[in-house]
């Protein structure tokens, strides 16, 4: 019953609903519908060809697996994938580099549509007078991400096993590190996902900053198209395919048939003991990072449910009788 659909839904589904109305009207209206559909599709194609998506990748969250999908799809779907390599793996850009990056991405028309990716904190493009791109990201349970990174620095991964990592030769387990209160496993090392979403302000990078947590949540809601979680990577890919088919058409099928779901795994990793987990969960940093993770997870589930409901509505309304 169309009378029960909200105004926003009617606007969003204008194309599909016009199809339903035309089925019960005369030929003249059908001709008008065709003209409308042509204009709709032409405008949509022009808009999508200028699409810019930025993935400011949080380390050790399955970001390599996801970017691998984009690299493999870009030729088929005719878009560009550009890696932003930040000097010395610094997640914060200088003020001049922030301006240059925002300007270059906004003005580089020959590289549109494009997915830009790199390990850097959120950047407010509108602050520098540029158009707002679509931001996406993936986050992970904070303790899992920290443990994975700890062992990654010692043993590397199966993606590039020949590389010697910074802590190569250090065989201390994560449990032993926590017991000895070494800096490598300090709770402050978990303070990464919140500042990545908070941005470039000084307070973003102060461990356990309540202000940073609030800003990170605001940015996630107001500036990110969708934020998935490592534990539900397939669903994240599905949401992107349904939301941005210009880039991600066929992504789920490719993800399921390829090895991209487990492209990069730490070679050796010992799960932490319950005692270690309980120690780290007492820290304000874990509590805030976990708060942010749970907030992002709830929002992702909300978006996923909406888009799946919408797709079901479209299928049921326009499928042949």
The model's pLDDT over 78-136, given as tens digits with 9 standing for 90+, comes to: 999 999 988 777 899 999 999 999 999 999 999 999 999 999 999 999 999 899 999 99
Q: Which candidate, 82, 71, 136, places its Cα nearest to that of 105?
A: 82
In 10 A of CB 165, how many CB atoms?
16
Specify the higher pLDDT residue, 171 or 125: 125
Token reading at 47: 């808009």
Partners of 229 in beta bridges: 139
Answer for the pair 107, 157: CB distance below 8 angstroms, yes or no: no
Radius of gyration of the chain (CA): 23
Give the count of domains, the chain. 2
Same domain, 34 and 75: no
Mean pLDDT score of the chain, rounded to an integer? 82
Mean pLDDT to the nearest integer, 216-232: 97
Same domain, 170 and 226: yes
Same domain, 293 and 214: yes
Residues ≥6 apart with Cβ < 8 Å to 186 = none
pLDDT at residue 262 tops 70: no
Render the burial of 36-70: b for 16+ CB within 10 Å, e for the rest.
eeeeeeeeeeeeeeebbbbbbbbbbbbbbbbbbbb
Mean pLDDT to the nearest integer, 62-89: 92
d(CA 309, CA 307): 5
Same domain, 233 and 129: yes
Residue with tokens 């099928």: 253
Same domain, 193 and 272: yes
Residues ≥6 apart with Cβ < 8 Å to 180 = 172
Q: What is the pTM of this model?
A: 0.79
CATH number of the domain encompassing residue 212: 3.40.50.300
Q: What is the pLDDT of residues 265-309, one digit of tens each?
A: 665 778 999 999 999 999 999 999 999 999 999 999 999 999 888
Question: What positions carry a catalytic annotation?
Answer: 117, 119
Same domain, 12 and 116: no
Please report the pLDDT score of residue 87 as a whole number.
76
Answer for the pair 297, 228: CB distance below 8 angstroms, yes or no: no
Q: What is the pLDDT of residues 5-42, one digit of tens each?
A: 222 222 222 333 233 333 334 444 444 555 555 554 44
Mean pLDDT is lowest, of 201-205, 216-220, 258-262, for 258-262
Same domain, 37 and 157: no
Answer for the pair 198, 204: CB distance below 8 angstroms, yes or no: yes
């Amino acid at each position: 019953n169309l009378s029960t659909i909200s105004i926003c839904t009617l606007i969003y589904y204008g194309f599909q609903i016009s199809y339903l109305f035309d089925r019960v009207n005369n030929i003249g209206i059908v001709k008008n519908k065709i003209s409308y559909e042509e204009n709709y599709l032409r405008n949509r194609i022009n808009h999508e060809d200028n699409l810019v998506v930025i993935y400011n990748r949080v380390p050790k969250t399955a970001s390599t697996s996801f970017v691998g999908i984009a690299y493999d799809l870009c030729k088929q779907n005719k878009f560009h994938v550009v890696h932003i390599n930040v000097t010395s793996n610094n997640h914060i850009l200088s003020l001049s580099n922030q301006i240059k990056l925002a300007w270059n991405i906004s003005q580089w028309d020959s590289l549109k549509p494009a997915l830009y990716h790199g390990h850097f904190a959120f950047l407010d493009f509108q602050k520098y007078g540029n158009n707002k791109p679509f931001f996406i990201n993936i986050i992970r349970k904070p303790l899992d991400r920290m443990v994975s990174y700890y062992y990654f620095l010692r043993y590397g991964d199966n993606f590039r096993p020949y590389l010697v990592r910074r802590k190569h030769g250090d065989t201390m387990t994560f449990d032993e590190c926590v017991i000895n209160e070494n800096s490598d496993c300090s709770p402050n090392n978990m303070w990464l996902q919140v500042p990545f979403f908070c941005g470039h302000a000084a307070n973003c990078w102060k461990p356990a900053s309540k202000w940073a947590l609030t800003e990170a949540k605001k940015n996630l809601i107001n500036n990110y198209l969708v934020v998935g979680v490592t534990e539900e990577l397939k669903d994240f890919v599905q949401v992107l395919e349904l939301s941005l088919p210009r880039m991600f058409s066929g992504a789920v099928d490719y993800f399921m048939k390829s090895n991209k779901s487990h492209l990069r795994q730490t070679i050796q990793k010992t799960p932490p003991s319950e005692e270690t987990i309980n120690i780290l969960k007492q820290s304000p940093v874990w509590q805030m990072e976990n708060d942010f993770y749970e907030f992002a997870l709830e929002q992702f589930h909300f978006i996923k449910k909406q888009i799946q409901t919408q797709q079901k509505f479209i299928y049921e309304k326009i499928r042949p009788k």
